[in-house]
């Protein structure tokens, strides 16, 4: 027991001593191996499982995607059982068995440092009993036999290092026949599969080495942000910058035609300043040419920051940055009367400010067609108060709205602490309308598998419902639906667009 406790402490220290980020790849080949402890689960009625068991295995695997993979596993097990012989004497029987298994793997949470998975597979076996049952009713089994087996398993991969990980796994294995314990009885029905085959469990602990990797995961490292995601003062050589002018034009044309906001990615500033980077100037120069193709339209430029620093400071910084963009566009020939600048500071996040990636996305310049009503955030209202007013108006008018500021842990249905604060205010508003019927909709971006995204969005909608119920909202007033990636409201090809598409919406039914 002391050894087990020591091992657990060591694993815990290794796990929590790692960096927060986990490098995950879309695909990859790996080799592995380890030891196991097998034990009979259901066997012939004359045999009794014993504990002197041992196993070892090797594995060659390939991950096709972050979620799906397969592996080929040769393994060996020694299984002990006993039966009662003459004068009720215990007679031990040892089965030596080799197997070659082909298994499919589904990684449930591939982006986490501890990644659970399930397996299903089929294998061929070769085995022989050392002292088979020799009674009068059953036929003796003295020869070696070839058989087949079905495998169901659950486990977890512990990602301590980039290329070498640990794996713990529990497999439930059902044989195609009733002979592996040294007995054969055709009339028995047993085990999870309710078949005549003997079954055994196999508890495995080992390691895997990834010797070949594919591209870095876009699911687990979204938004195209890799090693550098902080706002840092880096000078960029103009000749090394490639600007997608088609993207700039499409963003502006889409905003004009659909009357929606847009963000030009990589319009960045020097650290903690309102000075545009050289890359940002090139992007804005292209934007100015396109804006001048629509001289009848006016545009509002809205600055946003992350939540590092005080609310007052961030509001002023966002206003200065919006004005810096406006001034540069004017210098490139855009009429000053067509441009309006304002700031929202940290008050309208589109991503989780508790992560570096989220903060990088929240530091943005947003453009929209100006219709005379400014999108500037009131300085005297908090995001919670703004949300509460919007929700109250939606309930009164029976409208649909996005609950801003509700975020989840990456690839999870766990709410962030700030999101719980938002939902606390939502619950207070809903208590004032006890008869309101609301459909909670979950939405994701398009990264990953469509079926998985639908499942994830449903779980997230249900999490919001459970939280509101815990705050006193009747469960009968709330329904949930997950749409996955099927209803985007922004371009999933951009960081900003994907962040906006990951959202919770309320539809007021009545």
Which of 355, 323, 356, 324 minimizes the C-alpha distance to 340?
323
- Decide if 297 contacts 255 (C-beta within 8 A): no
Based on the fold, state whether residues 386 and 369 are members of the same structural domain: no
Task: Give 314-355 pLDDT, tens digit per residue.
Answer: 889 999 999 999 999 999 999 999 999 988 888 888 888 888
DSSP state of 110: T
Based on the fold, state whether residues 179 and 111 are members of the same structural domain: yes
Question: For the chain, what's the residue count?
Answer: 510
For residue 80, what pLDDT is reported? Answer: 85
Last residue of a domain, one of 192, 213, 234: 213
Q: pLDDT class for 128, splitting at 50, 70, 90? A: confident
For residue 22, what pLDDT is reported? Answer: 64
Task: Give the domain extent around 454.
Answer: 381-510
* C-alpha dist (Å) from residue 151 to 174, 306, 441, 488: 7, 49, 38, 40
Evaluate if residue 203 carries a pLDDT over 90. yes
Based on the fold, state whether residues 255 and 193 are members of the same structural domain: no
At 497, list the tokens.
């667009």
Quote the Cα angle for 35-36-37, to 5°.
145
Kindly state whether residue 6 falls inside one of the protein's structural domains.
Answer: no
Q: How far, in Å, CA of 408 to CA of 406, rounded?
A: 7
Last residue of a domain, one of 327, 356, 380: 380
Provide the Cα torsion 350, 351, 356, 360; round to 10°: -20
Number of domains in the chain: 3
Task: Give 25-58 pLDDT, tens digit per residue.
Answer: 888 999 999 999 999 887 766 677 788 899 999 9
Higher pLDDT: 153 or 400? It is 153
Kindly state whether residue 272 falls inside one of the protein's structural domains.
Answer: yes
Based on the fold, state whether residues 492 and 358 are members of the same structural domain: no
Positive or negative CA dihedral for 464, 380, 490, 110? negative
Based on the fold, state whether residues 64 and 169 are members of the same structural domain: yes
For residue 97, what pLDDT is reported? Answer: 92
Q: How far, in Å, CA of 280 to CA of 260, rounded?
A: 22
Q: How far, in Å, CA of 497 to CA of 487, rounded?
A: 12
Residue 59 sits in a domain of what CATH number?
2.40.160.20
Evaluate if residue 215 carries a pLDDT over 50. yes
Q: pLDDT class for 2, splitting at 50, 70, 90? A: very low
Positive or negative CA dihedral for 230, 233, 236, 242? positive
Evaluate if residue 170 carries a pLDDT over 50. yes
At 286, list the tokens.
């292209």
Evaluate if residue 229 carries a pLDDT over 50. no
Evaluate if residue 259 carries a pLDDT over 80. no
Evaluate if residue 221 carries a pLDDT over 60. no
Q: pLDDT class for 116, splitting at 50, 70, 90? A: very high
Kindly state whether residue 13 falls inside one of the protein's structural domains.
Answer: no
Q: How far, in Å, CA of 508 to CA of 493, rounded?
A: 30
Kindly state whether residue 15 falls inside one of the protein's structural domains.
Answer: no
Q: How many alpha carbons fall within 13 Å on the CB side of residue 66?
A: 24
Based on the fold, state whether residues 206 and 229 are members of the same structural domain: no
Based on the fold, state whether residues 386 and 376 are members of the same structural domain: no
Strands 364-369, 478-484: pairing kind: unpaired
Kindly state whether residue 8 falls inside one of the protein's structural domains.
Answer: no
Based on the fold, state whether residues 361 and 419 are members of the same structural domain: no
Higher pLDDT: 270 or 202? It is 202
Evaluate if residue 100 carries a pLDDT over 90. yes
Based on the fold, state whether residues 104 and 237 are members of the same structural domain: no
Q: pTM score, two decimals?
A: 0.52
For residue 330, what pLDDT is reported? Answer: 93
Based on the fold, state whether residues 357 and 474 are members of the same structural domain: no
Residue 444 sits in a domain of what CATH number?
3.30.1330.60
For residue 495, what pLDDT is reported? Answer: 80
Last residue of a domain, one of 213, 239, 270: 213
For residue 57, what pLDDT is reported? Answer: 97
The phi and psi torsions of 267 (rounded to 5 degrees) equal: -85, 90
- Decide if 61 contacts 29 (C-beta within 8 A): yes
For residue 177, what pLDDT is reported? Answer: 78
At 464, list the tokens.
């919001």
Based on the fold, state whether residues 293 and 229 are members of the same structural domain: yes
Alpha helices (H) along 78-141:
none
* C-alpha dist (Å) from residue 308 to 108, 120, 355: 33, 47, 11
Tell me the β-bridge partners of 33.
Answer: 58, 207
Based on the fold, state whether residues 107 and 190 are members of the same structural domain: yes
DSSP state of 441: E
Q: How far, in Å, CA of 88 to CA of 96, rounded?
A: 25
Task: Give 373-422 pLDDT, tens digit per residue.
Answer: 777 776 666 666 766 777 777 777 777 878 888 889 888 889 988 888 88
């Amino acid at each position: 027991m002391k050894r087990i406790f020591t091992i657990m402490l060591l694993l815990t220290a290794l796990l929590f001593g790692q960096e927060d980020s986990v490098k995950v790849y879309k695909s990859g080949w790996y080799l592995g191996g380890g030891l196991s402890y097998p034990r009979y689960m259901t066997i012939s009625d004359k045999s009794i499982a014993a504990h002197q068991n041992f196993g070892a295995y090797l594995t060659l695997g390939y991950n096709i995607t972050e979620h799906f993979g397969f592996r080929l596993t040769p393994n060996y097990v020694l299984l002990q059982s006993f039966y009662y012989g003459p004068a009720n004497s215990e007679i031990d029987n040892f089965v030596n068995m080799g197997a070659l298994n082909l298994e499919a793997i589904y990684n449930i949470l591939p982006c986490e440092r501890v990644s659970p998975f399930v397996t299903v597979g089929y294998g061929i076996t070769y085995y022989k009993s050392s002292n088979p049952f020799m009674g009068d009713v059953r036929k003796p089994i003295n020869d070696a036999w070839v058989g087949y087996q079905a495998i169901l398993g659950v486990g977890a991969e512990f990602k301590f290092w980039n290329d070498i990980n640990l794996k713990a796994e529990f497999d439930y294995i059902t044989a195609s026949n009733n002979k592996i314990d040294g007995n054969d009885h055709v009339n028995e029905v047993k085990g999870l599969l309710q078949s005549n085959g003997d079954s055994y469990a196999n508890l495995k602990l080992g390691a895997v080495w990834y010797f070949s990797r594919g591209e870095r995961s876009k699911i687990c490292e979204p938004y195209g942000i890799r090693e550098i995601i902080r706002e840092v003062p880096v000078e960029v050589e103009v000749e090394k910058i490639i600007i997608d002018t088609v993207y700039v034009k499409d963003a502006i044309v889409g905003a004009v035609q659909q009357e929606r906001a847009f963000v030009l990615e990589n319009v960045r500033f020097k650290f903690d300043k309102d000075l545009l980077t050289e890359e940002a100037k090139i992007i804005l120069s292209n934007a100015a040419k396109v804006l001048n193709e629509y001289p009848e339209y006016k545009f509002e430029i809205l600055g946003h920051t992350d939540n590092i620093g005080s609310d007052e400071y961030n509001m002023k910084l966002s206003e200065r940055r919006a004005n810096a963009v406006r001034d540069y566009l004017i210098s490139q020939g855009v009429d000053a009367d067509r441009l309006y600048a304002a700031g929202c500071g940290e008050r309208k996040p589109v991503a989780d400010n508790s992560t570096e990636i989220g903060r990088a996305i929240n530091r943005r310049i947003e453009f929209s067609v100006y219709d005379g009503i400014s999108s500037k955030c009131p300085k005297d209202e908090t995001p919670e108060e703004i949300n509460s007013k919007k929700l109250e108006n939606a309930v009164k008018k029976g409208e649909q709205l996005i609950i801003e500021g509700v975020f989840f842990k990456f690839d999870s249905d766990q709410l962030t602490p700030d999101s719980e604060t938002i939902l606390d205010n939502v619950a207070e508003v809903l208590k004032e309308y006890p008869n309101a019927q609301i459909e909670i909709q979950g939405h994701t971006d398009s990264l990953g598998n469509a079926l998985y995204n639908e499942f994830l969005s449903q779980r997230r909608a249900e999490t919001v419902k459970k939280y509101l119920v815990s705050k006193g909202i009747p469960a009968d007033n709330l329904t949930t639906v997950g749409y996955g990636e099927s209803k985007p409201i922004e371009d999933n090809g951009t960081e900003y667009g994907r962040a906006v598409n990951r959202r919770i919406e309320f539809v007021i039914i009545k």
